[in-house]
Amino acid sequence: MSKTIQIFDTTLRDGTQGEKVCLSANDKIRIAKRLDQFGVDYIEGGWPGSNPKDLEFFKRAREHSFSHAKIVAFGSTCRAGSMPEDDKNIRFLIEADTDVVSIFGKSWLLHVDEALKITPEENLEIIRHSVSYLKQHDKEVIYDAEHFFDGYKDNPDYAIETLKAAERAGADTLVLCDTNGGSLTNEITDIVEKVFASTTERLGIHAHNDSELAVANSLAAVEAGCEHVQGTINGYGERCGNTNLCSVIPNLQIKQNYSCIPDSSMNQLTSLSGFVSEIANVAPDYKMPFTGRSAFAHKGGVHVSAVMKNEQSYEHIKPEDVGNKRRVLVSDLSGKSNVLYKSQELGIDLTSTNGEVHAIVNRLKQLENEGFQFEAAEASFELLVKKMSEPWNDLFELKGFRVIMDRDSHGNSRSEATIRVNVNGQIEHSAAEGNGPVHALDSALRKALCKFYPDIADIVLKDYKVRVLNEKDGTGASVRVLIDSGQNSNSWGTVGVSKNIVDASWQALADSMNYYLMHHSTKTSNETEDQNEVQVH
């Protein structure tokens, strides 16, 4: 039977101390509900004595039911010179009305002497009184031994005494905190083993990532005896962040057979990671292990060839196990295997056309040499493959466009584009204004095509990126334009390259429209009207 490890999520408290991470009370409720569904054991909601937003969260949390997780209120031991019943922060912990509280106390004599300016014995009394008072109010108490590893390295006997003070007062879990994130993995193992031999209560680990060892240190702590792991989704947290639960959980459960969450929840890990980054409005890290977009992405031709034969050759787990998916990238490093894999993914069978595959590979290498990049422009890649492997007719043909921009002495600017396109032998000429030349061109193209393909109006431009390719050429350099377009929940990327930014933008815009029409339009509105007219007569 696998050993159970408690998962304590502090995204809503410690995670929000990370730079650029900010959550409203409503955001916190949404994330808490998702974490509960995922199966974590504890959700630390915040410090109710520190700000009104956290007070609001605990108030609203009482209005919701949580099927698995326990909501935790966080705070500190009482202040020096006061008793818990007279301490405002302790009172807020009680009033938060959670079954579980997490409080931190000092383990390092440096903090006792210089921060609190009290005696070592007074610090022990503060810990004992605070924990005991909370236990008297029927709280499950998780005691966070702040700076424990630094304190232990400075004075091991005193650091252990602080734990024993909390233990004698009734603390349910003793959490060893690497608050500065500077401990090495061998130090964590050695210290946890010694603490484990001298205490009887459940031990936990709270690691920070300042040495990029938070995950490794948490795993080592579990091996040494800890049964409780604290961390955050995506590793959000102060400075370099906290232990990333999205890495710790699969490493413990998939690779070491510990039980952290329900097995049925593991394939929700990637979507949970994305959900939290979206709510926090933090761009997802593509290189995040397990859940990142690049975690199972293969680019080198040799790698792709091997993966197609045996997935284990270049993948440490099945991406589906954590809700992720395999991706094969196409670039100048691509070989036949990359093109075959991507084509099969797109529903294009090239297995019997070896000559076409080589032609596509060579064309890709040529285009990448010119500055094209298809890793983030899979729609352009699909169009390229279809045009080179199947009978192809463009759904519209550009006959020409012109873009003008003027600016007056007051700084007011105006952009206008005119365009002529051929759709089924009919020339459509339209003009439109925009915020800039690219916006004007996009508007003119839509205006011209909507007459024939009304659904074009539903496409939205989600992102537009420009990259200068050869900076040394200054304003004469080539640029690469990447466009993300979308309709409802669907999105696709296209690319264009030119020394003229408007021309590069046109290439990406035209690919975007062609890609959409290829998948969504079988006939123009004129054809539909003609067909209806025949049916009427």
Residue 8 Cα to chain centre, angstroms: 19
Average pLDDT for residues 183-199, to the nearest whole number?
Answer: 97
Q: What is the pLDDT at residue 519?
A: 85
Residue 420 has pLDDT above 70, yes or no: yes
Q: What is the pLDDT at residue 528?
A: 42
Q: Where in the chain is the domain with CATH 3.20.20.70?
A: 6-261
Characterize the bridge pairing of strands 297-298 and 140-146: unpaired
pLDDT confidence bin for 347, thresholds 50/70/90: low
Tell me the average pLDDT of the chain: 89
Q: What is the pLDDT of residues 57-84, one digit of tens each?
A: 999 999 999 999 999 999 999 998 889 9
pLDDT confidence bin for 530, thresholds 50/70/90: very low
Residue 537 has pLDDT above 60, yes or no: no
Q: What is the pLDDT at residue 535?
A: 36
Rounded CA gap, 306 and 314, in Å? 7
Class of domain 6-261: alpha beta
Half-sphere exposure of 49 (CA within 13 A, CB side): 18
CA-nearest of 214, 230, 218, 222 to 42 is 230
Domain 397-520, what fold?
A: Double Stranded RNA Binding Domain (3.30.160)
Given a contact cutoff of 8 angstroms between Cβ atoms, the answer to whether 45 and 55 are in contact is no
Of all helices (H) and strands (E), which one includes residue 215? helix 214-224
Give the number of other Cβ atoms within 10 Å of residue 364's Cβ.
Answer: 23
Of 391 and 254, the structure prediction assigns the larger pLDDT to 254
Instruction: List for the chain the helix, strand, coil content (%; round to 5).
Output: 45, 20, 30
Residue 254 has pLDDT above 60, yes or no: yes
Q: Where in the chain is the domain with CATH 3.30.160.270?
A: 397-520
DSSP 430-472: EEEEESSHHHHHHHHHHHHHHTT-GGGGG-EEEEEEEEES-GG
Residue 195 Cα to chain centre, angstroms: 35
